[in-house]
Structure 1
Amino acid sequence: MPVLQTDKAGFLLDGQPFRFLSGGLHYFRVHPDQWQDRLRKARLMGLNTIETYVPWNLHQPRPDRFVMDGGLDLPRFIELAAAEGLHVLLRPGPYICAEWEGGGLPSWLLTEPDIQLRTRDPRFLAAVDDFFNRLLTPLRTYLASQGGPILAVQVENEYGAYGDDTAYLEHIADSLRACGIDVPL
């Protein structure tokens, strides 16, 4: 199983220097029948890694509903990437930007009066923790530590341009770790 590490010179994969040649392919923007073709073309372009965001608002359109099939079948997308010999950088947010409505945050969060998004507001963090648990539990087998293609997972997105609450970022990282994410963040 591949192990990604960093040292002062950069990334190491299984102890050898590694350079990410990565491109973004957002599974939720491409028809699932085209995923394999697009992943193959990425590999043929010389890429060794695919990064993809995870839009919370699509996967959890309501607090009581979680979707991960059809065009949102992220496990299948990851399997297809692995079949093409591609590594995966997973970017689950909770905020993804990606020029996506609300940065991928579900609109139902706003039904809570005065909720503060992307902060340590306990209501927001509880919703994030629930989302991560629903999303990441079935994805653990795809982590590089388990022999899968996911080499690393991003904590938040573009947060430095939005806020500077390191305790918030630590909570997000801790939540990812609590869900079994044991690859580099």
Structure 2
Amino acid sequence: MGAFSSFAVYTYLLFAALTQCCAEKSFSIDRINKTFLLDGEPFRYISGSIHYFRVHPDQWNDRLSRMRAAGLNAIQFYIPWNFHEVYEGISRFDGSRNVTHFLSLAAGNELYALVRIGPYICGEWENGGLPWWLLKYENIRMRTSDVRFLDAVKKWFDVLLPQLKPSLRKNGGPILMLQVENEYKL
């Protein structure tokens, strides 16, 4: 093979590799055909729930690998606000609260993620994941349009969502969907 042919083959392979690795990641809904699309192709997720806040971080990877071995291609989990912001204005994402590390382990196990961000999660979790300190506001009406509640939720989402943004599918991460609220008025 001549030098030009070798260069052409090398250039083609490099282009193909770059195109493959850098292709735009997407997740959408094809409403006409009633199917999910992953990177433009029909996709069905098979998921199970795992609550990182109920499993020791040393066991996260083991549990995720078992879920993948069971045939799942996605996980679902809640993010309890009161687990991350025990005290107003002090949010933690370290140790057992390191949701970004949990998501990276999910991705490493080829699992997509459907994340329920609350603010209310139910999940058989204390106060449905709402922080106790909200009760300092006299007569606050949680899970309503009460301005005090909505202001607190906005502050929480302003902290939480930047933590999750790098893990969204469009940014190359495992998060396919975010669910706001849970079991509203049930």
TM-score bracket for this pair, using the shorter chain length: 0.7 to 0.9
Note if contact 2:27-2:170 (Cα within 8 Å) is conserved in structure 1. Answer: no
Aligned residue in 1 for 2:103: 78
Trace 1:174-185 onto structure 2 (pairs within 5 A): none
Aligned residue in 1 for 2:11: none
Highest CA radius of gyration, 1 or 2? 2
Residue 38 of structure 2: which of 4, 10, 13 is its match? Answer: 13
Distance 2:177 2:108 in 1: 18
Distance 2:142 2:163 in 1: 26
Residue 146 of structure 1: which of 168, 171, 178 is its match? Answer: 171
Trace 1:1-185 onto structure 2 (pairs within 5 A): 1-8=24-31, 9-161=34-186
State TM-score, norm by structure 2.
0.84
Distance 2:49 2:142 in 1: 26
State TM-score, norm by structure 1.
0.84
Distance 1:150 1:34 in 2: 21
Q: What is the SS of the residue equivalent to 1:11?
A: strand
Q: What is the SS of the residue equivalent to 2:141?
A: coil
Moved more, 48-57 or 152-161: 152-161
**Which blocks of at least 5 consecutive residues in structure 1 are unaligned?**
162-185
Give CA deviations for 1:65-119 in whole Å, capped at 9, x if unaligned.
1111111110100000001111011111000000111100001101100000000
Distance 1:152 1:51 in 2: 10
Q: What is the SS of the residue equivalent to 1:115?
A: coil
AA at the equivalent of 1:12: L
Distance 1:152 1:111 in 2: 33
Superposition misfits of 4+ residues, deviation over 4 angstroms: none
Distance 1:2 1:12 in 2: 11
AA at the equivalent of 2:130: L
Per-residue deviation, 1:64? 2.2
Per-residue deviation, 1:7? 2.1
What is the number of residues matched between the two proteins? 161
Distance 2:63 2:46 in 1: 16
